[in-house]
Amino acid sequence: MSIEKVYNYIIVGSGPGGATLAKELSKEVKDILIVEYGPRFTKTGVTNVTPIFLDKKRKNIKTDGGIWIARARILGGSSYLAMGNAVTPPEKIFQEWGIDLSRELESARKDLRVNLMPSHLFGEGTKRINEAAKSLGWEMKPTPKCVDFGRCKGCGQCMFGCPTGAKWTALEFVDEATQNGVELSLNTEVTEVLHENGRAIGIRVYKKGNKFEIYGKNIILSAGALETPRILQNSGIPEAGKGLALDVYQATYGYTEDVGMQNEIILATYLDELIRDKELFSAPYMYIPLYLVRDIGGYAPEQLSITNLIKIALKSKRINAKRLIGIMTKIRDEMTGEVRNDRTIRKNLTKKDKKKLDEAYEINRKILIAAGADPQTIHRGIYESGHPCCTASIGKVVNEHQETRVKGLFVSDASVFPSPLGMPPILTIVAFSKRLAKYLLS
Ligand SMILES: Cc1cc2nc3c(=O)[nH]c(=O)nc-3n(C[C@H](O)[C@H](O)[C@H](O)COP(=O)(O)OP(=O)(O)OC[C@H]3O[C@@H](n4cnc5c(N)ncnc54)[C@H](O)[C@@H]3O)c2cc1C
Ligand code: SF4
């Protein structure tokens, strides 16, 4: 990185949005810089990766309405923690948006080597849930995943970095881009975009205790839907940050006599028809900390405090995850949240959101009972999320070419979604970046 040079493109953030742009633009353009807040992280496994889920103050991120948000601020962004689900959203969402991404989605599926989850990798819990759903008239379909199943060893640890490299992450695109000559500045926080006479001219950054400026003709913000709006707000675009949606999800769990889901690949199948009929994304799921603790006799473990969980773990009375099965449901929540510059996130579930989650709970409960779960042990998990979006959406903060009112300042990440998907977003984010790259190169 040089502070003397004027880059053609400065890309802020290296998640699926930023990495795709870097890869696509670098095929034809020189002098591109990626500026990434975090380090290159290569460790895998629960113990090594769990700290990545926490913020600087070693806390999980939670909204004022009590919704947990998971994300990673490292090279490759949250794709490092992703479960590899690569579901193409239904056509009706793109019609609602008035945006045709079909070609870009096709190209994204190829680049991300999307394949259907093979049945020989289904765990015992998933198989039981699939059969139970079928007995009630619902068909669980194999989930499309951006995983090379030839290399996958079925360890079920996708959220903790893939030890075999079978799962696609945005690091692959970053590496391709750097091989094409793109420069990379790690551990560098972008705080603001500089502009003069309505035209972007560079960024202000913070690195190793120093503040300085880097100049560029075009700036693309891909810092994710929680950080891009803060940079925009600092840069004189105060309307960014509103409309936050999270694809909030909640799981339903139950204990059986004979089967559980410990260490299996979760979200291996999903209830396709619920997406179509009710905009609910339901799939077999296990709250990951349950991999670590066992047997507290049927409590909802997430309702226990960390201290109590530790006490239980120390007493070696561990939650019996070997007998626990679960189904989670993501909803297309309403765009009522807000990312604020004071680092708080406002987001409560609306009545409509809660109604959707209640409806999902009833369906999940029926399936779990049919799968052999004791009705007395069925309980709901916490409100979780990992898909923040819509905080600089097309039509509100950016125009159809993803450009803000500051010329040369673009956004390409989940912030630009006009409304939430209610399902895994990586394919759509990659597709938006491919679309923007095409526009910029033309
Ligand atoms: C546990 C988990 C599992 C998931 N599983 C799936 C899945 O299976 N399928 C799916 O489709 N989606 C999944 N997701 C969601 C998906 O990972 C995200 O939606 C996606 O990564 C968002 O991409 P993005 O480019 O918008 O932003 P991000 O991935 O958030 O990338 C933003 C990047 O910008 C950097 N950055 C932030 N602020 C600054 C700054 N000020 N200066 C410089 N750099 C900055 C960050 O460090 C990060 O690298 C999952 C998410 C989580 C957390
Ligand atoms: S289950 Fe497969 S894709 Fe997931 S972490 Fe293990 S090897 Fe990687």
Q: Is the pLDDT of residue 318 over 60?
A: no
Atom from ligand 1 closest to the CA of residue 53: 53
Q: Are 373 and 391 in contact (CB under 8 A)?
A: no
Model confidence band, residue 298 (pLDDT cutoffs 50, 70, 90): very low
Q: Is the pLDDT of residue 377 over 50?
A: yes
Question: Are 372 and 398 in a shared domain?
Answer: no
What DSSP character marks residue 117?
P
What integer pLDDT is reported at residue 308 of this predicted model?
A: 55
Q: How far apart are CA 49 and CA 71, in angstroms?
A: 12
Model confidence band, residue 306 (pLDDT cutoffs 50, 70, 90): low
Question: CA of 6: how far to CAs of 33, 199, 213, in Å?
Answer: 10, 14, 11
What integer pLDDT is reported at residue 310 of this predicted model?
A: 57
Q: How far apart are CA 222 and CA 391, in angstroms?
A: 12
Paired with 144 in beta bridges are 116
Question: Are 355 and 270 in a shared domain?
Answer: yes
Question: Are 274 and 345 in a shared domain?
Answer: yes
Q: Is the pLDDT of residue 312 over 50?
A: no
Model confidence band, residue 4 (pLDDT cutoffs 50, 70, 90): confident
Among the bound ligands, name the one nearest to the CA of residue 155: 2
Q: Are 194 and 202 in contact (CB under 8 A)?
A: yes
Distance 21 CA to ligand 1 centre (A): 14
Q: How far apart are CA 410 and CA 29, in angstroms?
A: 17
The response to whether residue 392 sits with its C-beta less than 6 Å from ligand 1 reads: no
The response to whether residue 70 sits with its C-beta less than 6 Å from ligand 1 reads: yes
The response to whether residue 388 sits with its C-beta less than 6 Å from ligand 1 reads: no
Question: Are 191 and 338 in a shared domain?
Answer: no
CA Rg, the chain, in Å? 22
Length of the chain counted residue by residue: 442
Distance 138 CA to ligand 1 centre (A): 32
What integer pLDDT is reported at residue 346 of this predicted model?
A: 96
Question: Are 229 and 369 in a shared domain?
Answer: no
**Residue 306 buriedness (CB in 10 A; 0-12 / 13-18 / 19+):** exposed
Among the bound ligands, name the one nearest to the CA of residue 166: 2
Distance 342 CA to ligand 2 centre (A): 37
Q: Are 339 and 241 in contact (CB under 8 A)?
A: yes
Q: How far apart are CA 5 and CA 392, in angstroms?
A: 29
Question: Are 180 and 102 in a shared domain?
Answer: yes
Of 339, 356, 385, which residue sits at a domain end?
Answer: 385
Model confidence band, residue 304 (pLDDT cutoffs 50, 70, 90): low
Question: Which CATH number belongs to the domain containing residue 89 in this structure?
Answer: 3.50.50.60
Distance 70 CA to ligand 1 centre (A): 9
Question: Are 101 and 135 in a shared domain?
Answer: no
Unique residue bearing structure tokens 């079978």? 166
Q: Is the pLDDT of residue 192 over 70?
A: yes
Among the bound ligands, name the one nearest to the CA of residue 232: 1
Model confidence band, residue 301 (pLDDT cutoffs 50, 70, 90): very low
Of 339, 362, 385, which residue sits at a domain end?
Answer: 385
Atom from ligand 2 closest to the CA of residue 161: 5
Mean pLDDT, residues 229-251:
96
Question: CA of 267: how far to CAs of 8, 40, 106, 310, in Å?
Answer: 41, 27, 22, 27
Among the bound ligands, name the one nearest to the CA of residue 428: 1
Question: CA of 82: how far to CAs of 160, 196, 257, in Å?
Answer: 8, 38, 31
Question: Are 393 and 435 in a shared domain?
Answer: yes
Distance 19 CA to ligand 2 centre (A): 21
Q: How far apart are CA 171 and CA 226, in angstroms?
A: 20
Atom from ligand 1 closest to the CA of residue 69: 53
Q: Are 282 and 368 in contact (CB under 8 A)?
A: no
Model confidence band, residue 263 (pLDDT cutoffs 50, 70, 90): confident
Question: Are 221 and 265 in a shared domain?
Answer: no
C-alpha angle with apex 118: 114 to 120, nearest 5 degrees?
Answer: 155
* Most ligand 1 atoms within 8 A of CB, residue of 185, 226, 426 to mutate: 426
Q: Whose CA is nearest to atom 13 of ligand 1?
A: 82
Q: Is the pLDDT of residue 297 over 70?
A: no
Question: Are 234 and 265 in a shared domain?
Answer: no
* Most ligand 1 atoms within 8 A of CB, residue of 78, 88, 114, 204 to mutate: 78
Model confidence band, residue 254 (pLDDT cutoffs 50, 70, 90): confident
Q: How far apart are CA 372 and CA 261, in angstroms?
A: 13
Residue 190's SS3 state is strand
DSSP string, 40-104: -----SHHHHGGGGS-TTS--EE-TTS-EE----STTGGGGT---B-PPPPHHHHHHHT---HHH
Atom from ligand 1 closest to the CA of residue 414: 26
Which residue has better confidence, 399 or 256?
A: 399
Q: Are 21 and 437 in contact (CB under 8 A)?
A: yes
What integer pLDDT is reported at residue 289 of this predicted model?
A: 54
Above pLDDT 90, what percent of the chain? 75
Mean pLDDT, residues 308-314:
52
What integer pLDDT is reported at residue 404 of this predicted model?
A: 98
- Give me the domain span that covers residue 402: 6-38+73-112+168-244+388-441
Which residue has better confidence, 329 or 58?
A: 329
Model confidence band, residue 399 (pLDDT cutoffs 50, 70, 90): very high
Neighbours of 346 (CB within 10 A): 15
**Residue 317 buriedness (CB in 10 A; 0-12 / 13-18 / 19+):** middle
Ligand 2 pocket, CB under 6 A: 84, 147, 152-158, 162, 164, 166-167, 265
Model confidence band, residue 378 (pLDDT cutoffs 50, 70, 90): confident
Does residue 21 come out as left (phi exceeding 0), alpha (psi in the -120 to 50 range) or beta? alpha
Among the bound ligands, name the one nearest to the CA of residue 431: 1
The response to whether residue 35 sits with its C-beta less than 6 Å from ligand 1 reads: yes
Q: Report pLDDT digits (tens) over 359-375.
A: 999 999 999 999 999 88
* Residues in contact with 357: Cβ distance below 8 Å, sequence separation at least 6, in sequence order: 248, 250, 329, 331, 349
Mean pLDDT, residues 114-130:
96
Q: Lowest-pLDDT range, 53-57, 208-212, 310-314?
A: 310-314
Q: Whose CA is nearest to atom 36 of ligand 1?
A: 223
What integer pLDDT is reported at residue 275 of this predicted model?
A: 79
What integer pLDDT is reported at residue 317 of this predicted model?
A: 35
Which residue has better confidence, 324 or 216?
A: 216
Question: Are 237 and 189 in a shared domain?
Answer: yes
What integer pLDDT is reported at residue 14 of this predicted model?
A: 98
Mean pLDDT, residues 112-131:
96
What integer pLDDT is reported at residue 204 of this predicted model?
A: 97
What integer pLDDT is reported at residue 421 of this predicted model?
A: 97
Q: What is the largest CA-CA distance in the chain?
A: 69
What integer pLDDT is reported at residue 50 of this predicted model?
A: 77
Among the bound ligands, name the one nearest to the CA of residue 78: 1
Distance 163 CA to ligand 2 centre (A): 7
Q: Which two structure tokens, joined as six digits, stand for 56?
A: 């600087």
Question: Are 395 and 290 in a shared domain?
Answer: no
